[in-house]
Structure 1
């Protein structure tokens, strides 16, 4: 336990160093809202389950789970031949800010920095109305943190399947021109033009139902279920109907973008037992999103809901006018691993 506390304190000290070294925000800039994530009270620890060995769930839960390898015995050849036990679990692996304010970090206590140069988009105080009140647009930025919480907390000592890394800010969309422009985004998602038609969009209704009731449909990879379309892979949301729906869509697109750029990898299924693998078309079933800011969701079946699931059961009333455009999410990732 002391080692776990030292890891957490070390991460907090690193964040303090960022706060001290960051330029002071401009007084005239918008207020950034948020708070640090408490790893004890702000994390839905029941989202770790179901826990499985082979195809058998030894610690079931009320949440849906992906298919696990049927055999409890597994074998790996790299880096050395070995035989082990096939386990499956959900790990809190990443933390994400999703905000309309450039350089605002809700999960770092609501810190906002001034980088000293004109980059990123201007602040959008809220979804802007275009075409009347029936339609609105939103522009979101995402900050992607390496956040291997299970390794820090030492839930299972020396468990080789945990990602062993330290806290790090891995990606900020303010410095990514592809995130801010639909035409440039086409460089990494040229197939978007194929799915820009009414038939493809209508199919997303089925993905919405499937994601809410059980798991999203990976075959409909161009859909983000109830939130809308996965394309383009940027933060420009053409039909925003609320901060929660809109921010979750932006985060879903960003996760897909990370896979398309080979910055995120597959960890689920038989292929993930021995090592991570390339997944340029993201499997939506690999992820769950849990809100951490402004109000954490820490219990209930929908506390960490799948990509594309309806936002009404878990997140209704959790975004408010003052600061509702500064959201934070904990990203849970399905992991199948061969333990030896």
Structure 2
């Protein structure tokens, strides 16, 4: 009886190992290490009461003119000084293989085999190239997970979570359906509107993007449509643009809240304030800094996407750390 059970157990183990090897062949990656992979200096500049205490990268000035603040909530009142910094709080994956989660080291079976996969295509009539990728949005409050600055009231408290995956969102894989949540795209598809994006590209490459031109993503292309297809063939640029476009889409669906507009709480932004977000490439190759939306990959993407990937990382799968600007009220609560 025992040899029979042993043989059965060994058979099950071998079957699981074979399945895991097949999944690994299709979906490669390794989990993000918050200690070594996160750009910690990207949290700066740190400003309190309008005074810069720690200098950092070139970022837009705080929108709040007053250095003092007063916030009421739940019958209590907090009076103090405004503080602002850049918090590493979210991860975004852009992947070629549907239901592939390199940051988790896992892959789910595709209920629609042969569909939903990433692709690059070129229109025969115009020669225009486009790229399609799936995307995953993770809640990843790095400081909270590492139990750092636990007494600082501005930090988001919580744990790790897979908050959004585009494979189950029909709008992401269909530009026509995406029109339901971005009908204004008709207004910004004209040559004149797209020509204005040149100034946004210049601004992003020399400093930070222009929030007034919300339909532009600088050198990464157009913010529309809010789907997974982008008019770009360069993999690094295309995946950066899709990660940024997912932020716009989540804001339009009231699933993303801006924490830099009001020191007393987050604000829903169906039209994104793109200068409040910066992306750091983590996979295939870690980047040493975070970049504003729309900055050309000629300035930061060299060597970040080797032809065979880096280590266990496939060249078609990208992982981005989102650094969002956070403004809050630090003081005494009554």
> Same fold, TM exceeding 0.5?
yes
1:75/1:84 contact within 8 Å kept: yes
Q: What is the SS of the residue equivalent to 1:338?
A: strand
Answer yes or no: is the 8 Å Cα contact 1:91–1:332 preserved in 2: yes
Please state if 1:265 is matched with 2:253. Answer: no
Question: Residue 112 of structure 2 corresponds to which residue in structure 1?
Answer: 118
Aligned to 1:201: 194
Give the distance between the partners of 1:155 and 1:29, measured in 2 at CA: 34
Change (3 A) 1:306 1:98: same
Residue in 2 that maps onto 1:15 = none
Contact 2:78 2:329 in 1 (8 A): no
Q: Does 1:309 align with 2:299?
A: no
Quote the Cα distance in structure 2 between the aligned partners of 1:152 and 1:28.
28
Contact (CA 8 Å) 1:55, 1:68: kept in 2 or not?
Answer: no
1:26 and 1:219 map into 2 onto residues whose CA distance is 49
1:106 and 1:293 in contact (8 A); partners too: no
**Aligned mate of 1:173, from 166, 171, 174:** 166
Structure 1 unpaired stretches of 5+: 1-20
SS in 1 for 2:241: helix
Give CA deviations for 1:233-271 in whole Å, capped at 9, x if unaligned: 01111x2231110001111111000000010011113xx
- With over 3 angstroms needed to count, the CA separation of the structure-2 counterparts of 1:313 and 1:330, relative to structure 1, is same
Shift of 1:153: 2.0
Match of 1:233 in 2: 226
Q: Please provide the CA RMSD for this pair.
A: 2.2
Take 2:115 and 2:23, find their aligned partners in 1: how far apart are those partners?
Answer: 16
Q: Tell me the residue number matched to 2:90.
A: 94
How many pairs are equivalent? 308
Contact kept in structure 1, 2:42 and 2:57, CA below 8 Å: no
**What corresponds to 1:320 in structure 2?**
306
Q: List per-residue Cα deviations over 1:182-207 (Å, max 9, x = no partner).
A: 11101110000111110111111110
Matches for 1:1-340 after TM superposition, within 5 Å: 27=22, 31-79=26-74, 80-109=76-105, 111-115=106-110, 117-118=111-112, 121-124=115-118, 127-131=120-124, 135-237=128-230, 239-269=231-261, 272-298=262-288, 303-322=289-308, 323-340=314-331
TM-score relative to the length of structure 1: 0.85
Q: Distance between the aligned counterparts of 1:220 and 1:92, measured in 2? A: 25
Query: Larger Rg: 1 or 2?
Result: 2
Are 2:223 and 2:245, in contact at CA under 8 Å, matched by a contact in 1?
A: yes
In structure 2, what is the Cα distance between the partners aligned to 1:31 and 1:145?
21
* Corresponding residue number in structure 2 for 1:11: none
- Measure, in 2, the Cα distance between the counterparts of 1:29 and 1:296: 21
Hey, what does 2:13 align to over in structure 1? Answer: none
Q: 1:4 is matched with which residue?
A: none
Is the partner of 2:103 in helix, strand or coil?
Answer: helix
Shift of residue 155, structure 1, vs aligned partner:
2.7
